[in-house]
Structure 1
Amino acid sequence: MSENGIQVIKRLIYRRPQKVFLEFGVNDFKYRISADTVKSHLITMIDIIKAKSPNTKIYVQSVLPTDIDSLNNKIVNYNKEAESICLAKEVTSINLYPDFLKGNKIDSDLTIDGTHLSTAGYFNWRRLIDKYVN
Protein backbone atom coordinates (compact mmCIF):
# COMPACT_ATOMS: atom_id res chain seq x y z
CA MET A 1 0.00 0.00 0.00
CA SER A 2 0.97 3.64 -0.35
CA GLU A 3 1.98 3.99 3.29
CA ASN A 4 4.68 1.38 2.67
CA GLY A 5 5.66 3.31 -0.44
CA ILE A 6 6.35 6.37 1.69
CA GLN A 7 8.69 4.31 3.86
CA VAL A 8 10.46 2.96 0.77
CA ILE A 9 10.91 6.49 -0.59
CA LYS A 10 12.39 7.61 2.73
CA ARG A 11 14.94 4.78 2.59
CA LEU A 12 15.72 5.21 -1.10
CA ILE A 13 16.02 8.94 -1.50
CA TYR A 14 19.23 9.37 0.48
CA ARG A 15 20.99 7.89 -2.58
CA ARG A 16 19.90 10.94 -4.58
CA PRO A 17 18.78 9.04 -7.71
CA GLN A 18 18.63 10.86 -11.04
CA LYS A 19 15.07 9.65 -11.64
CA VAL A 20 12.26 8.12 -9.61
CA PHE A 21 9.20 6.46 -11.15
CA LEU A 22 6.11 6.26 -8.95
CA GLU A 23 3.21 3.96 -9.75
CA PHE A 24 0.82 2.84 -7.07
CA GLY A 25 -2.82 2.88 -6.10
CA VAL A 26 -4.62 -0.08 -7.64
CA ASN A 27 -4.21 -2.26 -4.55
CA ASP A 28 -5.23 0.66 -2.36
CA PHE A 29 -8.45 1.01 -4.33
CA LYS A 30 -9.05 -2.75 -4.24
CA TYR A 31 -8.75 -2.63 -0.45
CA ARG A 32 -11.09 0.37 -0.33
CA ILE A 33 -8.50 2.95 0.68
CA SER A 34 -10.01 6.32 -0.17
CA ALA A 35 -8.82 8.30 -3.17
CA ASP A 36 -8.10 11.20 -0.80
CA THR A 37 -5.70 9.00 1.17
CA VAL A 38 -3.99 7.78 -1.99
CA LYS A 39 -3.65 11.39 -3.22
CA SER A 40 -2.23 12.38 0.16
CA HIS A 41 0.38 9.63 -0.13
CA LEU A 42 1.29 10.79 -3.62
CA ILE A 43 1.75 14.36 -2.41
CA THR A 44 3.82 13.17 0.56
CA MET A 45 6.09 11.07 -1.67
CA ILE A 46 6.64 13.94 -4.10
CA ASP A 47 7.35 16.36 -1.24
CA ILE A 48 9.85 13.99 0.39
CA ILE A 49 11.72 13.49 -2.86
CA LYS A 50 11.80 17.21 -3.65
CA ALA A 51 13.00 18.08 -0.14
CA LYS A 52 15.64 15.38 0.24
CA SER A 53 16.83 15.12 -3.37
CA PRO A 54 15.84 18.26 -5.28
CA ASN A 55 17.70 17.27 -8.45
CA THR A 56 15.84 13.97 -8.80
CA LYS A 57 13.44 13.94 -11.74
CA ILE A 58 10.06 12.54 -10.66
CA TYR A 59 7.75 10.60 -12.97
CA VAL A 60 4.27 9.65 -11.78
CA GLN A 61 2.66 6.88 -13.78
CA SER A 62 -1.10 6.58 -13.92
CA VAL A 63 -2.86 3.70 -12.27
CA LEU A 64 -3.61 1.09 -14.93
CA PRO A 65 -7.10 -0.21 -15.72
CA THR A 66 -8.45 -3.47 -14.32
CA ASP A 67 -11.21 -5.82 -15.37
CA ILE A 68 -13.56 -4.38 -12.71
CA ASP A 69 -15.78 -1.54 -13.96
CA SER A 70 -16.41 0.04 -10.55
CA LEU A 71 -12.69 0.06 -9.81
CA ASN A 72 -11.90 1.57 -13.20
CA ASN A 73 -14.28 4.46 -12.48
CA LYS A 74 -12.32 5.26 -9.31
CA ILE A 75 -9.03 4.88 -11.17
CA VAL A 76 -10.06 7.25 -13.98
CA ASN A 77 -11.06 9.91 -11.44
CA TYR A 78 -7.90 9.41 -9.40
CA ASN A 79 -5.67 9.58 -12.49
CA LYS A 80 -7.17 12.95 -13.43
CA GLU A 81 -6.57 14.29 -9.94
CA ALA A 82 -3.05 12.84 -9.83
CA GLU A 83 -2.29 14.56 -13.13
CA SER A 84 -3.40 17.87 -11.60
CA ILE A 85 -1.18 17.24 -8.57
CA CYS A 86 1.76 16.57 -10.89
CA LEU A 87 1.11 19.79 -12.77
CA ALA A 88 0.95 21.79 -9.53
CA LYS A 89 4.09 20.10 -8.14
CA GLU A 90 5.94 20.43 -11.46
CA VAL A 91 6.60 16.73 -11.92
CA THR A 92 6.06 14.60 -15.01
CA SER A 93 2.82 12.67 -15.27
CA ILE A 94 2.75 9.65 -17.59
CA ASN A 95 -0.75 8.57 -18.59
CA LEU A 96 -0.48 4.86 -19.41
CA TYR A 97 -4.14 4.05 -18.79
CA PRO A 98 -5.40 4.24 -22.40
CA ASP A 99 -2.52 2.12 -23.67
CA PHE A 100 -3.72 -0.84 -21.61
CA LEU A 101 -7.41 -0.68 -22.51
CA LYS A 102 -9.42 -2.95 -24.71
CA GLY A 103 -12.93 -1.58 -24.69
CA ASN A 104 -13.38 -0.17 -21.21
CA LYS A 105 -11.28 -2.75 -19.31
CA ILE A 106 -7.67 -3.84 -19.23
CA ASP A 107 -6.71 -5.80 -22.32
CA SER A 108 -6.84 -9.44 -21.20
CA ASP A 109 -3.65 -10.15 -23.16
CA LEU A 110 -1.80 -7.70 -20.91
CA THR A 111 -2.84 -9.13 -17.53
CA ILE A 112 -2.61 -12.40 -15.65
CA ASP A 113 -5.58 -11.80 -13.36
CA GLY A 114 -7.37 -8.62 -14.39
CA THR A 115 -5.05 -6.41 -12.36
CA HIS A 116 -1.42 -7.54 -12.48
CA LEU A 117 0.53 -7.41 -15.72
CA SER A 118 1.46 -10.42 -17.80
CA THR A 119 4.76 -10.68 -19.65
CA ALA A 120 3.12 -8.95 -22.62
CA GLY A 121 1.82 -6.25 -20.27
CA TYR A 122 5.29 -5.60 -18.91
CA PHE A 123 6.69 -5.38 -22.43
CA ASN A 124 3.99 -2.84 -23.28
CA TRP A 125 4.74 -0.86 -20.10
CA ARG A 126 8.47 -0.91 -20.82
CA ARG A 127 7.91 0.30 -24.38
CA LEU A 128 5.78 3.18 -23.12
CA ILE A 129 8.17 4.43 -20.45
CA ASP A 130 11.41 3.79 -22.35
CA LYS A 131 11.66 7.39 -23.55
CA TYR A 132 11.53 8.60 -19.95
CA VAL A 133 14.06 6.09 -18.67
CA ASN A 134 16.74 6.71 -21.31
Structure 2
Amino acid sequence: MFATPFRDSLTIQTRVIAALFMREIITRFGRHNIGFLWLFVEPMTFTLGIAALWYITRSTHGHHVPIVEFALTGYSTVLLWRNCATRCVGGLTPNLSLLFHRNVKPVDVFLARILLEVAGATCSFYVLTLVFYV
Protein backbone atom coordinates (compact mmCIF):
# COMPACT_ATOMS: atom_id res chain seq x y z
CA MET A 1 0.00 0.00 0.00
CA PHE A 2 1.30 3.42 -0.93
CA ALA A 3 1.85 6.09 1.66
CA THR A 4 -0.23 9.20 1.27
CA PRO A 5 0.78 12.68 2.42
CA PHE A 6 -2.12 12.67 4.89
CA ARG A 7 -1.05 9.34 6.39
CA ASP A 8 2.54 10.56 6.67
CA SER A 9 1.41 13.77 8.37
CA LEU A 10 -0.84 11.84 10.74
CA THR A 11 2.03 9.52 11.66
CA ILE A 12 4.32 12.48 12.35
CA GLN A 13 1.72 14.27 14.48
CA THR A 14 0.99 11.08 16.43
CA ARG A 15 4.68 10.69 17.20
CA VAL A 16 4.95 14.35 18.22
CA ILE A 17 1.97 14.08 20.58
CA ALA A 18 3.32 10.82 22.04
CA ALA A 19 6.71 12.46 22.68
CA LEU A 20 5.05 15.50 24.29
CA PHE A 21 2.92 13.13 26.39
CA MET A 22 6.02 11.35 27.71
CA ARG A 23 7.79 14.69 28.27
CA GLU A 24 4.79 15.95 30.25
CA ILE A 25 4.81 12.85 32.46
CA ILE A 26 8.51 13.22 33.21
CA THR A 27 8.44 16.98 33.83
CA ARG A 28 5.31 16.89 35.98
CA PHE A 29 5.90 13.76 38.03
CA GLY A 30 9.64 13.12 37.80
CA ARG A 31 11.37 9.78 37.61
CA HIS A 32 11.52 8.90 41.30
CA ASN A 33 9.32 7.67 44.15
CA ILE A 34 5.54 7.81 43.78
CA GLY A 35 5.75 10.24 40.81
CA PHE A 36 3.61 8.83 38.01
CA LEU A 37 1.29 7.07 40.46
CA TRP A 38 0.20 10.52 41.66
CA LEU A 39 -1.61 10.95 38.31
CA PHE A 40 -4.15 8.36 39.47
CA VAL A 41 -4.01 8.90 43.23
CA GLU A 42 -4.80 12.63 43.16
CA PRO A 43 -8.25 12.32 41.52
CA MET A 44 -8.99 9.31 43.73
CA THR A 45 -8.29 11.23 46.94
CA PHE A 46 -10.42 14.18 45.89
CA THR A 47 -13.31 11.96 44.83
CA LEU A 48 -13.10 9.82 47.96
CA GLY A 49 -12.91 12.92 50.14
CA ILE A 50 -16.04 14.45 48.62
CA ALA A 51 -17.91 11.13 48.73
CA ALA A 52 -16.92 10.62 52.37
CA LEU A 53 -18.00 14.14 53.38
CA TRP A 54 -21.36 13.76 51.68
CA TYR A 55 -21.86 10.32 53.19
CA ILE A 56 -20.89 11.43 56.73
CA THR A 57 -23.11 14.52 56.64
CA ARG A 58 -25.96 12.48 55.15
CA SER A 59 -26.37 15.06 52.41
CA THR A 60 -29.10 14.58 49.87
CA HIS A 61 -29.15 15.70 46.30
CA GLY A 62 -32.85 15.39 45.56
CA HIS A 63 -32.76 12.05 43.82
CA HIS A 64 -32.89 8.35 44.67
CA VAL A 65 -29.33 7.64 43.45
CA PRO A 66 -27.02 6.70 46.38
CA ILE A 67 -24.75 9.57 47.34
CA VAL A 68 -21.46 7.66 46.90
CA GLU A 69 -22.32 6.67 43.33
CA PHE A 70 -23.50 10.19 42.62
CA ALA A 71 -20.24 11.65 43.94
CA LEU A 72 -18.12 9.11 42.08
CA THR A 73 -19.68 9.73 38.68
CA GLY A 74 -20.29 13.45 39.08
CA TYR A 75 -17.14 14.58 40.82
CA SER A 76 -14.81 12.48 38.69
CA THR A 77 -16.20 14.15 35.59
CA VAL A 78 -16.05 17.65 37.05
CA LEU A 79 -12.50 17.04 38.22
CA LEU A 80 -11.53 15.84 34.74
CA TRP A 81 -12.82 18.95 32.99
CA ARG A 82 -11.43 21.30 35.63
CA ASN A 83 -7.97 19.73 35.46
CA CYS A 84 -7.93 19.73 31.65
CA ALA A 85 -8.70 23.44 31.52
CA THR A 86 -6.28 24.29 34.32
CA ARG A 87 -3.39 22.37 32.77
CA CYS A 88 -3.93 23.96 29.37
CA VAL A 89 -3.92 27.51 30.72
CA GLY A 90 -0.22 27.42 31.53
CA GLY A 91 0.72 24.88 28.89
CA LEU A 92 2.65 26.95 26.41
CA THR A 93 5.03 28.83 28.68
CA PRO A 94 7.19 25.84 29.73
CA ASN A 95 7.10 24.46 26.17
CA LEU A 96 7.97 27.59 24.19
CA SER A 97 11.35 26.25 23.13
CA LEU A 98 9.69 23.19 21.60
CA LEU A 99 7.60 25.36 19.30
CA PHE A 100 10.73 26.17 17.28
CA HIS A 101 10.54 22.66 15.86
CA ARG A 102 8.62 22.57 12.62
CA ASN A 103 6.31 19.70 13.60
CA VAL A 104 5.37 20.91 17.09
CA LYS A 105 2.29 23.11 17.20
CA PRO A 106 0.54 24.68 20.22
CA VAL A 107 -2.45 22.37 19.77
CA ASP A 108 -0.08 19.37 20.16
CA VAL A 109 1.03 20.64 23.56
CA PHE A 110 -2.60 21.05 24.62
CA LEU A 111 -3.59 17.62 23.30
CA ALA A 112 -0.75 15.93 25.17
CA ARG A 113 -1.78 17.60 28.43
CA ILE A 114 -5.45 16.80 27.91
CA LEU A 115 -4.70 13.16 27.07
CA LEU A 116 -2.65 12.86 30.26
CA GLU A 117 -5.47 14.25 32.39
CA VAL A 118 -8.06 12.06 30.68
CA ALA A 119 -5.91 8.97 31.22
CA GLY A 120 -5.45 9.74 34.91
CA ALA A 121 -9.08 10.58 35.63
CA THR A 122 -10.37 7.60 33.66
CA CYS A 123 -8.06 5.16 35.41
CA SER A 124 -8.99 6.66 38.77
CA PHE A 125 -12.69 6.36 37.96
CA TYR A 126 -12.36 2.72 36.89
CA VAL A 127 -10.36 1.74 39.97
CA LEU A 128 -12.82 3.46 42.34
CA THR A 129 -15.77 1.94 40.51
CA LEU A 130 -14.22 -1.51 40.84
CA VAL A 131 -13.47 -0.96 44.53
CA PHE A 132 -17.02 0.23 45.29
CA TYR A 133 -18.51 -2.55 43.19
CA VAL A 134 -16.59 -5.23 45.12
Structure exhibiting the larger radius of gyration computed from Cα positions: 2
TM-score, structure 1 normalization: 0.27
TM-score, structure 2 normalization: 0.27
Higher helix proportion: 2
Larger RCO, structure (CA 8 Å, separation 6 or more): 2
